[in-house]
Chains A and B, each alone.
Chain A
Amino acid sequence: MTATQTLTQARPRSRKVAAPGSAPSAARRIRRSLRRIPVWLVVTVLLIVVMYPQLWMILGSFKTQTEFFENPTWALPETWTLDNYVSALTRGNVGINYRNSLLVTIPSVALIILLGVAAGYVLEVMIWKGRRTVLLFILAGIMVPGQMILVPLFTVYFRAGLTNSLWPLILTYTAMGIPLTTFLMAAYFRSVPREIFEAATMDGSSPLRSFFVIALPLMKNSMLTIGLVQFFSVFNDLLIALTFTTKPDLATIQVGLLSLSDEYGSTQYGPLFAAISVNIIVLLVVFVFLNKKIMAGLAAGSLKG
């Protein structure tokens, strides 16, 4: 929404700037807009390439199985019913899958952010010997691929009898999210003027109290940004979920989608398309409202990592 606003606002503004220069002759103005045609052509092709597959998937989610096989795949659906959505959510496991995904993602992200901001505070605001070394030690975790911890953790979770619950997923995601979050939080704390914390001490606040009363409210924005980044990386993960999910009713949505399409030959395309479309539609709504934060967060996460 905000993006379209800036687009419509930006055009008249740039035209105003160009106006004095192109005022002398109308021919020059026409020549200038003709020169813009290739640009609009490129942008149109780009937008079609990016958007059409998503639109096609959502349109497909309204089709019946016979439509999939008898009509060309670019045809519009003949009827607009939500049957596929209903059958994906009730008959398949997709409903349970989405519930599991939320049950895993929300506690994991909350834990990652809370632990990350605490570690960032201790490593940046608190002053003690060895804090640089500890920060580097935590940072090293960003480099290691998830494959390195799968086998040992699987053994541990199995021995501890946790494999019949969602705990292995929550614990693993938390451990994997901590390094980057700690690093980014420390960087955000570095940009906060020290005087704020010193003034708090003058007013008689202990450092622990300052953490809860000053640091946490101060970091609200950064916590939301990093929280979104972690939300996407946990919600969209397949590797960890696939490894530690031993029963179908513990599967997250990514594992669920994979098994939904696995029954080759007898694939019910309507419900499969509906299950994927739910992903697209929900994330699109989130993205329309939070796109600036998400884009900034993902960019920060990759550059500093």
Chain B
Amino acid sequence: MNRVYGDRKTILILLIPPLAIYVLLKVVPVLWSLGLSFFQGNTLRGFEFVGFDNFTTFATDGAALQSLWVTIGFALIATVSQVTFGYLLALLYVFVLRKGSAFVRTAVFFPMVLPTVAVALLFRSFVAVGDNQGPVNDVINFFGGSSVEFMASTAGTMATAIVMTLWSSMGFYAVLLYTGLLDIPDEIIESARLDGAGGLRLVRNIIVPLSAPILLSSIIFSLNSTLKVFDSLLALNGGGPGTSTSPLTLYMYRTAFEYAEYGYGSTIALVLTLLCLVFTLTVFRSSSKRVED
């Protein structure tokens, strides 16, 4: 039997096409990009080997450092709020709404499938339609506050971006964590209840530790997607005002394709990749250490 399923011809026929596309269009470009980060220039002007110059430039480039902080700040705030709101919703689904949660679950999930560009444009109009103010300011006025021009300030734009990210993805994280909570055996929760643990204590001492693995996966997934934030900040306000909310991805795109600095662009892409790797490993290490303690 093993000999039949070791048939070389079948393996080659079925594996060569996907492997070839993967290697040629993903692996080779990644290695190529790694190499490019040691060069300066572009295809028209020619390339010049500069060693680690691009990296030292990055460390002293104000715009690059600014976008690095935008990326890290956005990722941290978005991840904490996404996972927290998702977890609260999941607890609501499992322990309060129980069987009646299907409609709420589906409705809150839906914005996740909407294109980020569309969502960003929606929220930009939601805070202001041209010179006319949007529903958000109407609500602020109703409670006696004065209108805020969200897109005119860095803090306003970032706050809108965070709220928008939360709006579109909290339902997704809720479903993710909900499936994790469903896996907790009812007997454990019942016996904890009998031992007198109820409400917050039950959640803190029993439920959170038991759902730790899925919380960890959610945090890692959320960090990895928010560190690559691109569409939302670009479509929301073009990385502005000025470049104050332009993340690494957008700075890389502009460096490489608007200023045709292919080498430096590749360096920025490499920094982004390393950032994702470092964040993932840090979360992973810190959590496995806590389990050992």
B residues near A85, Cβ cutoff 8 Å: none
Residue from the list A6, A39, A257, A299 in contact with B96, Cβ < 8 A = A39
User: In the complex, what's the smallest C-beta–C-beta distance from A293 to chain B, in angstroms?
Assistant: 12
User: In the complex, what's the smallest C-beta–C-beta distance from A282 to chain B, in angstroms?
Assistant: 10
In the complex, how many residue pairs between chain A and chain B have their CB atoms under 8 Å apart?
285
| A146 nearest CB neighbor, chain B only | B228
Interface residues of B in 151-200 (CB under 8 A from A): 167, 171-172, 175-176, 179
Q: Is the CB of A178 within 8 A of B11?
A: no
B residues near A254, Cβ cutoff 8 Å: 115, 117, 231
Q: Is the CB of B273 within 8 A of A148?
A: yes
The 8 residue pairs across chains A and B that have the minimum distance between CB atoms: A175-B25, A10-B99, A115-B18, A149-B29, A152-B29, A147-B269, A152-B32, A236-B115
Within 8 Å of chain B (Cβ to Cβ): is A191?
no
Q: Is the CB of A50 within 8 A of B111?
A: yes
Q: Is the CB of B21 within 8 A of A178?
A: yes
B residues near A236, Cβ cutoff 8 Å: 113-117
Within 8 Å of chain B (Cβ to Cβ): is A76?
no
Q: Is the CB of A116 within 8 A of B113?
A: no
| A294 nearest CB neighbor, chain B only | B113
> Which one, A24-32, A87-95, A119-127, A219-227, is touching chain B?
A119-127
- Complex Cα spacing A155 to B28, Å: 13
- Given the known interface contacts A69-B131, A258-B235, A302-B221, the answer about A151 and B100 at a Cβ–Cβ threshold of 8 Å is no
Range class of the B interface residue count: 35 or more
- Complex Cα spacing A47 to B110, Å: 11
Within 8 Å of chain A (Cβ to Cβ): is B135?
yes
User: In the complex, what's the smallest C-beta–C-beta distance from A80 to chain B, in angstroms?
Assistant: 19
Q: Is the CB of A144 within 8 A of B11?
A: no
- Given the known interface contacts A153-B29, A207-B7, the answer about A4 and B103 at a Cβ–Cβ threshold of 8 Å is yes
- Given the known interface contacts A115-B18, A198-B1, the answer about A151 and B269 at a Cβ–Cβ threshold of 8 Å is yes
Q: Is the CB of B167 within 8 A of A50?
A: yes
Within 8 Å of chain B (Cβ to Cβ): is A106?
no
User: In the complex, what's the smallest C-beta–C-beta distance from B268 to chain A, in angstroms?
Assistant: 8
| B115 nearest CB neighbor, chain A only | A236
Q: Is the CB of A153 within 8 A of B25?
A: yes
Range class of the A interface residue count: 35 or more
User: In the complex, what's the smallest C-beta–C-beta distance from A57 to chain B, in angstroms?
Assistant: 5
Within 8 Å of chain B (Cβ to Cβ): is A303?
yes
A-B contacts, 24 of them at CB < 8 A, read A7-B100, A42-B92, A47-B107, A56-B135, A68-B129, A68-B132, A69-B131, A119-B14, A122-B14, A127-B5, A141-B26, A145-B272, A148-B266, A150-B269, A151-B265, A152-B29, A175-B22, A175-B25, A179-B26, A201-B4, A206-B10, A208-B10, A242-B253, A287-B113
- Given the known interface contacts A74-B138, A295-B109, the answer about A46 and B104 at a Cβ–Cβ threshold of 8 Å is yes
| A208 nearest CB neighbor, chain B only | B10
Residue from the list B14, B32, B107 in contact with A208, Cβ < 8 A = B14
User: In the complex, what's the smallest C-beta–C-beta distance from B133 to chain A, in angstroms?
Assistant: 7
B residues near A53, Cβ cutoff 8 Å: 122-123, 126, 167
Q: Is the CB of A239 within 8 A of B176?
A: no
- Complex Cα spacing A299 to B33, Å: 31
